[in-house]
Amino acid sequence: MTDLNSTIGWERAVIGTALADPSTMEEASELRLSDFTGCHQDIWAEMAVLHRKGALELRALVEALRTRGALDSLGAFDVESSGEAYLAELLSRRGDAMSEYVDRVIDASIKRQLRQAAALIRADADDDQVSAEEALDVAEQRLMALRRNRLTNLGISMADLMSVFTGRVQDMIAGTYQPAWVPSIKPIRDIVQFAEGEDMIVIAARPGEGKSSMLRAEALELAWGGPPDSPDPNRAKPVTIFNLENGEIEYARYAISWLTGIDSMLLRDPRKLTEEQLQIVREASQALQRIPFHVVTLGSPTAREIERIARQHISRHGTKLVGVDYLQLVRNGNPNKTQDVSETSSVLRSIPLNFGVPVIAISQMSREIVHRGENAEPQLSDLRESGSIEQDGTIIMFPRALWASPSGQQLRQFPENINPDTGYVYTTGAKAIPIRVYVRKHRNGSTGITEPFLWVKSTNRFRPLTNPATWEHQ
């Protein structure tokens, strides 16, 4: 490390050491983005995000910078390498004295800011419109602002926060910003355009109204990289689902049915499948083996257990979305159910806040909505053990069937509801029903009621309706 006598050399030592051993990031917690110069600011910003997620390593950093559109611009005047090669160059500058490197970077940063402050103080002193007393007061404020508390980390300064915000604005303008989660169902997306990594999304409904199906569909589309018939592998993101209710093999059926469009009931008895369908299932099974989708099946876990495993998956697999199905099945040992659910909700909320990965939590609704009548609209107060869920959820939505008691004539409008052998409408359990979603809370956006769309229960899919407004009156 021959360039350690220079400011840029110490910055390289910090970055290289942290890349080689992410645990040393704790020693660098006092560093701010403004302490770095040039492209090192972009690199350190992404490293800080990856470290919070427990996913800091060279390949993840390369992809994060590539996504942001900053990879190709990496480099410096005194080295020939650029882009990904420059990151490898930084890794070679690692050392074993992180605390010293941090001190050197901070010292250089303060001196740089001191020179800037001195220039401003000089300008005030030369300004005849500024009194000596005013100049002294401003000079004192400028100098005091440069002092740091070296003992505690009191959060991020507005200056550094603005540098992060500015970077995001530039990414959005350039079209390179990728939100943490974008709803795959268009009517929902029309209201909830996207969610941030710090969001906790709650999907609540009565049994059989699509809440778990909606979570599975969103998770599968994210891990698959798009809709079943038009994926983009570059968009695929790792997903972890905590399954607290179903057998693990059910998720295999859900996934194959979602991908192929084959009725999930047929997959329970493969003897009913044609040779063509069997071949489609085999091909789908092979394709699904390659997607970054993990199912963690637990019986009555504690919220802390879920948080611990989620942290491991974020670190090891780079998980970008955590799903919990469902919230009321978590058991923390508190005899008061409302307090127990409150603990679950607050712990799940900590996952997005601490690791920047959104959580979609499924929740039950109380029977109160049933007592209000078949066509009652859901409210936040309908959340079962609602207090903390309502508070912790940043986005809360309720899927609800459009028809409370659909007639055979209504159900016949969808081919999935007709038995192909008899031509009659299925008498027990519709396979496809129109639903809409009530977005009752959106902390950073709008609320509202979606247009109706079709939930195909038999394939775990959701699809648009032609002229959705007309379905309201059927």
**Residues of the chain with confidence (pLDDT) below 50:** 1-2, 149-154
Nearest to 87 by CA among 109, 65, 54: 65
Q: How far apart are CA 271 and CA 282, in angstroms?
A: 14
Nearest Cα neighbor of 48 from 26, 17, 66, 71 is 26
Residue given tokens 């129109």 in the structure block: 434
What one-character DSSP code corresponds to residue 75?
B
pLDDT of res. 65: 87
Residues 215, 455 contacting (CB under 8 angstroms): no
Tokens read off for 406 = 């659909």
| Strand pairing category for 461-464 and 453-456 | antiparallel
The CA-based dihedral angle spanning residues 114, 116, 121, 127, taken in that order and rounded to the nearest 10 degrees: 170
- Taking the whole predicted model, whether its pTM rises above 0.75 is answered as no
Counting every residue written for the chain, the total comes to 474
Query: What is the residue whose two structure tokens read 């919230």?
Result: 327
pLDDT at 448 (0 to 100): 92
Main-chain dihedrals φ then ψ at residue 160, nearest 5 degrees: -70, -35
C-beta of residue 341 within 8 angstroms of C-beta of residue 327: yes
Q: What angle do CA 189, 195, 201 make, to 5 degrees?
A: 95
pLDDT tens by residue, 127-144: 888 788 878 877 877 776
The reported pLDDT for the residue numbered 155 is: 56
Q: How many CB atoms lie within 10 A of CB 191?
A: 20
d(CA 357, CA 372): 37
- Angle ∠(299,301,303) on CA atoms, nearest 5: 155
The confidence score (pLDDT) of residue 294 equals 92
| Whether 31 contacts 14, CB under 8 Å | yes
Q: How far is CA 379 from CA 193, 227, 345, 354, in A?
A: 21, 31, 18, 29
| Category of 467 on φ-ψ map: left (φ > 0), alpha (ψ -120 to 50) or beta | left
Residue 439: CA count within 13 A, CB half-sphere: 21
CB burial string 135-172: b at 16+ within 10 A, e below: beeebeebeeeeeeeeeeeeeeeeebeebeeebeeebe
Residues in Cβ contact with 212 at an 8 Å cutoff, skipping those fewer than 6 apart:
245, 325, 326, 362
- Cα–Cα distances (Å) from 327 to 340, 358, 388, 393, 440, in that order, read 10, 15, 12, 12, 18
User: How confident is the model at residue 5, as a pLDDT?
Assistant: 57
Q: What pLDDT, in 10s, does the model give residues 287-330?
A: 998 899 999 988 888 988 898 888 888 877 888 999 999 888 88
Phi, psi of 377 (to 5 degrees): -90, 135
**CA 172 remoteness from chain centre:** 17
Q: CA-CA distance, 318 to 355, in Å (whole number)?
A: 11
d(CA 181, CA 63): 18
Check residue 405 and give its pLDDT.
79
Sign of the CA dihedral running 29, 178, 347, 315: negative
- CA neighbor of 241 nearest in space, from 207, 189, 203: 203
User: Angle CA(408)–CA(414)–CA(420) in degrees, nearest 5?
Assistant: 85
